């Protein structure tokens, strides 16, 4: 394998690594923080705006209570389906101890996550393995041929 074949194998390998990053991101984006605190929050208000495609986006104000009976309010852009929030709606919140102002909303599991994350993971691993075989295979075959010829 020479020239374009090696380049194609490297490209497949790079795309596989990128897809692997996407799979990891999908897996972690909607999960509670590791070693974080999970609590319930309440939507207390919302504002709306129009994005560049003339779709309405909503930003929610979500309040929750942390130890010491202190109330914290965070802002969260509702990007899932651009649905209008309901004041009083309960949502799950996750934050790192000592950083409640950096909390995030943890949405309930969705069918999308159930199949998209494993699909990206399987696809990325397939691409990585294909790229590695394409990059390393010819070198290993040449090495084996040299050993057989000399020894």
Q: Is the pLDDT of residue 2 over 70?
A: no
- The pTM (predicted TM-score) of the whole model is 0.62
Tens of pLDDT, residue by residue over 76-112, are 875 554 678 899 999 999 999 889 988 999 887 777 7
34, two tokens: 């590791």
Instruction: Give the highest mean pLDDT range of 23-27, 37-41, 81-85, 117-121.
Output: 37-41
Cα-based distances in Å from 107 to 14, 25, 100, 115, 134: 31, 15, 17, 16, 40
């Amino acid at each position: 394998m020479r020239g374009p074949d090696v380049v194609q194998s490297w490209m497949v390998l790079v795309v596989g690594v990128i897809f692997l990053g996407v799979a990891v991101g999908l897996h972690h984006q909607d999960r509670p923080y590791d070693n974080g605190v999970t609590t319930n929050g309440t939507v207390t208000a919302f504002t709306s705006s129009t994005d560049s495609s003339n779709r309405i986006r909503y930003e929610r104000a979500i309040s929750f209570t942390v130890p010491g009976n202190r109330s914290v309010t965070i802002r969260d852009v509702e990007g899932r389906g651009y649905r209008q929030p309901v004041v009083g709606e309960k949502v799950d919140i996750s934050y790192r101890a000592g950083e409640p102002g950096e909390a995030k909303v943890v949405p309930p599991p969705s069918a999308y996550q159930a199949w998209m994350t494993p699909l990206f993971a399987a696809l990325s691993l397939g691409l990585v393995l294909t790229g590695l075989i394409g990059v390393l295979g010819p070198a290993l075959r040449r090495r084996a041929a040299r050993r057989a010829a000399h020894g």
